[in-house]
Amino acid sequence: MSVVSLTPNNVARPLARVPSPARHSHDGHEAQPDAAACASSAGHIVATHHCRVLTHHAVNARYRYLRLQADAPVALTTRPGQFYQLKCPVTESEAPFLLRPMSVYGTGPEPDTIEFLYNVTGVGTRALATLTEGASLDIVGPLGNTFTLNTQWQRVMVVARGVGLATMAPLVQRAAAAGLRLTVVMSARSEADLMRDEFLRSPDARALADVHCVFDSDGSSAVATLEPRIRALLAATPHDAVYTCGSHRLLMLLQRVLAAHPEITGEVAMEQRMACGMGVCLSCVRLFDCDGDKQFLRVCREGPVFAIRDVVGEVDFG
Binding site listing? 100-103, 124-125, 276, 281, 284, 300
Cα 183-230-262 angle, rounded to 5 deg: 90
8 Å CB contact between 108 and 79 = no
Backbone angles phi, psi at 14, to 5 degrees: -55, 150
Q: At what angle do helices 223-236 and 248-258 cross, to 10 degrees?
A: 40
Binding-site sequence positions for FAD: 100-103, 124-125
Query: DSSP letter string over 106-133?
Result: EE-SSTTEEEEEEE--SHHHHHHTT--T
- The per-type count for the chain, helices as H runs and strands as E runs, is 6, 16
DSSP classification of residue 205: H
Binding-site sequence positions for [2Fe-2S] cluster: 276, 281, 284, 300
Q: Which of 218, 227, 224 shows the shortest CA–CA distance to 185?
A: 227
